[in-house]
A and B are shown apart, each in its own frame.
Chain A
Amino acid sequence: MDNAVITTRELTRTFGSFTAVNKISIEVGQGEIYGFLGPNGSGKSTTIRMLCGILEPTSGSGTVLGYDLAREAEKIKRKIGYMSQKFSLYDDLTVYENLDFYAGLYSIPHRERKKRIGEMIDMALLKGREDELAANLSGGWKQRLALGCAIISRPSILFLDEPTSGVSPTSRRTFFKIIQRLANENTTVMVTTHFMDEAERCYRIAFISEGKLIADDTPENLKNNVIKGTLAEVVHPNALYIIDDIEKLPYVKECSNHGPVLHVLLESENAIQALNYYTGVEAKIIRPSLEDVFVSLAKQNRRQVS
């Protein structure tokens, strides 16, 4: 990739004997929204912390904007924005004061400061609440203020660690629109999320499990290439009770539940009749969603480990 702004080579971090991030190699191009997905504890936050220069890699290497992670962390910090997993604002400062504080930390000249803070307030839809204490903001507002603090310096790369957890669906959509706008203006965004609708909107997705990179591709390619076989949707009143039995059928590769609905991965399209006969209901062939892809990837990985 010629326009890569983040590259890592076998980036690894261990805590004692535990390997949180295991030889991860990725490349992120400029202006991309790069999604970072994986189950809890898979090492997403640990990777992002290393990329932000606040966690020393144990081995491997990486560069951000051409600066080496291990040696030039402070140079990286001047050019990036970061929103940590528990977006931490100063609760006892107002919206304006929080923004002003970060403006000062990035040495934004006084002449420009008011204007920049105003921009952030507009962007974060916080107009009229400038003098409210951050403590009194609800989830979505707090999250957008945290974003404002992270991008007030106009960073070239923005790292967002689960920015949308604990936020209402409406706020989540608003937030992601802002992210997309930033990306259109050529900011690179690396974001971790558990939400598939957000993952769908990424240009590229890395899926990690137990510290290892399992897949790294566009959502489209992942949906087309990861799942081998035919995916069928089964709506059955006793879905949760029959899930184990279905998985044991010879022509079924995998079976998982999405709420009350079962997704059954068949060896081939021909097996659908046998399945219908077995369950007594009509199965429908569907195109795999990202969620199916990740469930499948996680299962494959677990099988390999055990």
Chain B
Amino acid sequence: MSRILAILKKEFLQMRRDRLTLGMVFALPLFQLLLFGYAIQTEVKHIPTAVFDQSLSAESRDMMEAFSASGYFDVYYSTGGYAEITNMIDSGRAKVGIIFPPDFSENLKKGDTATVQVLVDASDSMSSSTAIATANAIGLLKSQKIFIQKAQLTNLPYDIRVRPWYNPDGITAYYMVPAILGIIVTMTMVMMTAVAIVRERERGTLEQLMVTPIRSFELMIGKIVPYIGLGYLQITVALLVGALVFHVPIRGSLLELYVLTLFFITASLGLGILISNIAKNQMQAFQMSFFVLLPSIMLSGFLFPREAMPLVIQYIGDIIPLTYYLVIIRGIVLKGIGFPYLVSQVAALLVFSVVLVTLSIIKFKKKIA
């Protein structure tokens, strides 16, 4: 215990004096979030929109003005009828088609629901989701009933309820901020611990350590634990940026988020420390970190939905800690769900942590060469 404490204390002192690294811990979430957040948040505006107005009424024009005024739609009044609208969408000249039936105005006046048909080019997911969300919002506002159908699915009327459930306003930052947080934390944790052992090997202090009575597990624990605090610090910064800049609401329990995050931090640290035990020098450690971090970004469901990936790729994603953490943090932050729904993810992260740290302890030998 005295030996673990000695390592802990030393690591803390070294961490505190390493201004550059500390700066990174704070700056990374700040800049990454602002950068990613704003880049991804740029919602699609000025969607070319073709309108076939069969009712030619004041009410239909009023509605289209609302569409135009939203800034999301550039409205073009078609004279060529239904055929022209579909043709424009097929050829890509329009992303959205809006069709007012001839009896639109009459129905409204009679007090019946007036339906508007909205066609959306679903091949462009960005503009289609924006269009759907906005059309819905305007439709609701105007108390009209809107049928939305994707152009690719022939005439399947879309219900209002297609709107993205957990993110009704279509603001992608909501969805991205928690995920970016996961990326940043795993990146920092892996990179920092990846050099923890090799750096001492290169500086020659490891040889000195090997001659002391320190045990392998004491060294590994002592090297990992201080970074847990750093991980929490970073998450706090990221959550604050998310809340203050992007107004990401945290629907679930903050306490629960912090507790469950522990297993993600330890899994990332375990990965880093294992790399540190395998790498011959710091350069190799960096390269290996990139090698494991890249799949984390690509395959974890951070950028692309995992459901859309081939099965083999999904299996690879299954052995990445971030995959599980994304479910946890999106679940808690966006859906407000709690631990009972996340047991399997937490269990997976726990297994990662234990396996990775155990492998490191076994791998580390108090021998040179």
Contacts and interface: CB of A to CB of B under 8 A. Distances in A.
A54 B14 contact: no
B205 interface: yes
Category for how many chain B residues contact A? 20 to 34
Contacts of A90: 10, 14, 205
A77 B212 contact: yes
Interface string B210-237: 1111100000000000000000000000
B354 interface: no
A52 B18 CA distance: 32
Contacts of B9: 100-101, 104
A56 B368 CA distance: 8
B204 A88 contact: yes
A305 to B, nearest CB: 25
A1 interface: no
A74 interface: yes
A73 B369 CA distance: 16
B212 A102 contact: yes
Given A49-B368, A93-B14, A97-B13, A105 B207 contact: no
A244 interface: no
Interface stretch (A78-86, A172-180, A197-205): A78-86
A88 B10 contact: no
Given A54-B366, A54-B367, A55-B367, A93 B2 contact: no
A100 B2 CA distance: 11
Give the contact-size bracket for chain A.
20 to 34
Contacts of A103: 6
A219 interface: no
Interface string A87-107: 011101100010011111111
Contacts of B6: 100-105
A278 interface: no
Nearest to B10: A101
A86 B204 contact: yes
Nearest to B17: A92
A121 B205 CA distance: 20
A74 B18 CA distance: 33
A105 B212 CA distance: 7
Interface in A107-136: 107-108
A240 B213 CA distance: 52
Interface in B1-33: 2-3, 5-7, 9-10, 13-14, 17-18
Nearest to B2: A107
Contacts of A82: 208, 211
Given A84-B207, A88-B207, A105-B7, 4 more contacts: A52-B211, A78-B213, A90-B205, A101-B6
When A and B form their complex, which 5 residue pairs have the shortest distance between CB atoms, in order from nearest?
A104-B6, A88-B204, A82-B211, A107-B2, A105-B212
